[in-house]
Structure 1
Amino acid sequence: MPKYLQRLVLFSLLLGAIPVIAIGIISYYISTGDIENKVKEANMQVLLQTQMRVEQVMKTLELTSIQYVNSALVTSTIQEKLTVDDFSVIRDLSKGLYNLQTFAGINEAYLVSFDKDWLVSFKKFSPLSSMPQAETFKTYAKHPNSLFWVTSGVKSDAGEANPDETGDIVASAPKDTTRMVYKIPVVPMTTQPKGMLVVEIQNDQITNLLSQSNQLGESYVLDKGGSNFLSDTAGSKYAEINRMVTQRLIDASEPTSGFFNAYAGDREMGVTYRQSPYNGWIYVSVVSIKDITSQSRKIAWITFLLCTFLFILVGLGAFYGSRKMYSPIKRLFEFTKEIQVEGLDKPGQDEFVSIEERFRALFSTEKQLQQQVQGHFAQLKEFFMLKLFTGQVSGSDFAKRAEMLGFPTSWKRLGVLTLNIDTLQGTRFREHDRELLLFAIHNMVGELIPPQRRFSPVLLDQCQVTLLTSDLENETELKQEFYEAAESIRFKVQEYLKLSVSIGISRPFEKLGDAMRAYGEGLEALKNRISLGNEIILHYEDIETGKKGLEAAVYTQLKMHEDQLVNAMKLGDMDRVNEHFDKYIAAIVQKEVHTGDYPVLMIQLISKILQLVQEQGGRVKTVLGGRATIDHFLKLGTMEDIVAWFRADLFEPVHKFLNSQAESQYIDIAGQMVKLIHERFDQDFSLESCAQALSFHPVYLSRVFKKEMGINFSEYLADYRMTMAKTWLESTNWKISEIAEKLSYTNTTAFIRTFRKIVGTTPGQYREEHNKD
């Protein structure tokens, strides 16, 4: 399957599948949330019904107990001292207690008289003080309420303390029971009642009331202290949940109800709670979240099956619809295959990428052709301008092409601006940047002067040349217009490039054929930078022609400075070279040498310096490099550049070359002297004869030999002769006198004395020592 068709099918599939999947997920979560909320509401209703059922039983018992306590029998007897002899009264009291058992869960009932110290229950009559519950009942008497309930708590033993519904600490009820306490008489806030009715109910009976409505999860009751007094098992299993319920009620400003999720072990549970305002008991329902959501799983499966079916339908629709939409793309792809582009049509490549690359290649080719045509057109314009300035095309021929090339076709007067960079000394640029800077200036001129006022600017022989047009005829106004154009160019170059430039302005003319002459006039005007300085804008008419030649005195003075400079260069004295050169330049400037004459004069000096290099056997190009040439010198336009060129590019390399040649010459002379010593040591050979052989003065040779060899000539000659004497003493049987004679010693004694001085022993002793070896 083509790659783009795959993407189209996938996109269509996702576009249809995402809503289906989203709807299914949203439906599932909405239904799950609704079921959970319904369960919460149902559990809250169950808790409310349970609370009402339990409280109804408790209120019924309270009402029956109130009727019994307020009966004439109890009110008249509670202040009497009863004994076992009062059988009929005790029987009537017990009978009344039995009547309280309308509620089947009553385990025991006690009628207590604190003042008369007696107690009547279902089973017996005895003094109160003899009963183990006496202290418990006394703590009940201190309770601020006349009627209240006491639970057994989690650790219920008789006598244990636990908080009641008011938060006060009272004795716990016996294990697995709950007590209702009623003070006699019923006087609010009484802490010293005359008597008391205590009724015990089995916790199982209350638990049965809870289980009747327990349809989902587990329900239980907590007292106000958070203890599950009905079931120890539930109390330990949900201890953390009970603590959280109690804390929530403590944090609440008034008794309330609520729902939250918590974990019991590793199971997530939904907890519903409700606190009774009647006695402060907390009714709690704990349901597994998994059980709550079990019903929603059926909805999830139905949703999944429905979404799968819809997904299949969407997939089929996406496939066939994408193929239909892909057909025009396929035709376009097949059509563009005729455009050959290297690197396309790879396996798995997107069709649109291929089409884009082919169109891009097509447009790129067209753009390149346009750029080439535009570039060639610009080059063609500059080419014709160069031919015009160099006289290679006539004015009439150029005028015929002017309109085609986009040049101005009408004017009254013309003028040429010739711009040249003064110097790069002291700028951030170097000499190799000159051409690039001229090109930048060339572009600036093209932007500063409107096309209708100029022909195409060109670069010609290290100058930027612009042919201007004007509709003015007045000479003064015309000169001012050309000057303002030149000034704007000079100012912008200084502003943007931080360069000083000078501009020569030709005389106005009318015919294009005079452009070559005007260009020459601009160059001639620029030559006056030698005497006028840098950053000048000069009209050709303003040039003072001055003297056309040099007086004999001036020439003689310059020739004297030239000779002195050359002699100082031969001697290697650069201080004197610079001194004479300063005088030479001052003579040219102060004597107002005409701008056309100074190159000729300076070329004579350059020739003499170059002749020194050739006399010492050097090649000018090798010694001086590419900058120290006559052509380069003639391109220099300012005195600063000329002086810098002489010092850095001419004098300095020549000075280094002459010094190196002198040193190599010294080495060569010393070598020749050593060679002569080795050849003529057995002759009457001296420094004078060596100087005669080498055509040098003896004093000069002595100084050169001492400098290069580190020893005097005569000492070296004597040492070499003694070396040869030792060789002959060791290898021959010649007499000492014969050896002395061969070494040109006419006196044997003088030979022996010289040998002893150099070797440290006499020739005879030396022979004896070496013959023993």
Structure 2
Amino acid sequence: MKLRAPTFLSKLIWFSLLLGTFPVIVLGAYSYYTASGTLQTKVYESNQQRLLQTESQIEQLLRLVDYSAIQYMNQPLVIASLRGSLTSDASGVDTVQDLLNSMSKLQSSQLVAMSTELVSLTGKWSVSDVGLSALSASDVKGYDKWVNDPRTSFWSAAPSAMQLVKKIPSYSAHPTGLLVMSIPLYEINKLIGSETKLGSVLVMDEAQYVFAGNEGAALGKRFDELPFGGKQTIAAEDHGFYKANAGKERVGVSYRVSPYNGWAYLSVVSIDELNRESQNIGWFTLFLCLGILAVALIISYLGSKKMYRPIRSLYDVMRNAPEAADAAETGNEFEFMNERFRGLLQSENRLLQEMQGHSRQMKEYFVFKLFQSDMAKSEIQDRLAMFGHPLGWSHMCVMAIQIDTFAGTRFEEQDRDLLMFALNNIVSELVAEECRLLPVVMGDSQVTLLGRSESDAQLFKSYLDTLAQDIMGMVNRYLELKISIGFSRVFDDIKIIREAYREALTALKYRMKLGEESILHIDEVQPEQSVPHHYPDALEQQLLDALKLADREQAERLLPQLIAAIAADERTHEAYFMSFVRLLLQMLQAAKDAGVNPNRLYAAEQDLFIQLFDLKTVGQVELFFQQTVMSPLLEHLEQRRVKQYQSISSEIIRMIETGFDTDLTLEVCARRMNYSPNYLTKVFRKETGVNFSDYLSEYRMKMAKKWLVETNMKISEIAEKLKYNTPANFIRYFRKLEGCTPGQYRENYFNK
């Protein structure tokens, strides 16, 4: 069955077209937006330069006028005129004429039209271009806004001019005169210019009124009344830029704030106009992209057809194969060929996996049998040759690895099988195949037969130590577990591998002495059987005595010493466990001697022995005896002792309360209760916090105060009843405690 259409060809054409058009579209869009953005940036920079130029020209004019005003106001003629009054005589006329001549010289030195006015606030006259004028009271009051201004020199906006106002004297709180120099606004507008192609330029004073510019509609208005200034604020910054809506048009506003007089210079440019300028770039980019797309389409079609021919030929061959006659129709040619190849690969993989699985199982079975049963040497050699294992090892050793503990790790006992599998994989990766047989997991141990063709057994042993360190480091890094590694004796005859396996496991049992994370060689850790060992009987007896007395501090101090003394002795691992079994039996007997039934403290005594034999290190043994065996016993004895102490103390207090008026002593109480006085002293002080004699004295004093206020007994009678030798002794002791005599105490009570 043939495909209805060469679907892969169409996909190839579309992919080639997309591959050619997508970069063009991205490049065109990027070019358009980059060009538009660059144009706006250039316009903004041009406006900033324009504003800077305008600001420089205007401020140059203002500074020139300011400098001329300072020269004029500091002339002796001006200062002398303001101090006196101008009269209508000949000298007054001459003075006015001199002032006018100075003004005319001042104006002729400027490049712009300018008017000057000198005002005397004390003499109430003014001299200007029109001559001398007398000032009325209302005229003088009109100058108050300038006089009251805290500045000594400033520019003030007028409807048709900008006025420079200077106070005379400059730094006086009450100036005697003013110098006002006015520049017509048209002179400032000439500096701005009427060109609006790059946007309008406006100038605002400190109060944000527009007083100059080339846009007539904005003159005389506040900034917030303008279409583009409603919600914006020109801060006292150097310069800035923002976008706003001016009716239906979007504009960009560039501004600069002058540090000289606080005036703001604004340039308003239509963003929509700039965008219209950018449309030409957009149209050019669009036509260029369309041309490139047309070329890409032609090349994609022709190139795809040429590349498709060998694919179609291969598809026809596979489709016409006999085994593909009943194959279902697929989406395109490659999907059909993919299904055919996948089927072939899956069949091949199944065959390989079955072969590898059977091979690995056979290898594992052989290794298990090698470690656990006797095999003929010829059979071993045949199997090794069949599995491709090396036969020329001169030195061999069995390595066994066990997990020390799960305490303090993120794993639990149910994770052991998975962790042993991971441990087996680590060994497989770290040990080269030519130096080992297949690593296997046997029970709770990972076991590997290692071998090398070393000329010296010591070199082989060094290799074993290095390998053990590497395995420990890898396990600690990835699994965060503590492991110990045991090695058998080095041998050269593979026939004795079963005995070597037992030696490796035996070496691991000597962790009881060396602790966790140990590397144990059987020939180094196993002592001679004839070496005698000693049991620390004295330390054991001291520990048992501390347990019977419920002395927790003493018991917790002696237990580590006893276990360390047992572990320090050179002995076989069987001897270690026999010593610890003896210690466990003695501690259980001590509990029985103290009147405690072990079955009330522990679930079953035989479970304690099972737990003991599962321990691997001295640290685990010490923790077992401390937490599992000793701690429950001490808690039980301490609770029983607390109850006993409370009962004894309660009985002593009862004796005091009933026999305080007798010759009661601690010895009398001890005889009645059948305890030693020293024991009662210790118990009573621990429960009440005071001595027996102090408690008895306090109680007698309590009864004395009660008799003083509730009875008419004489003081001598009270002293005798409370067993004081003399009334004076009673009075002296009472005054020491209460600060007054018994008689004064009774008198004070009834006088309240």
Same fold (TM over 0.5): no
> TM-score band (shorter)?
0.3 to 0.5
Instruction: Tell me the TM-score normalised to structure 2 length.
Output: 0.41
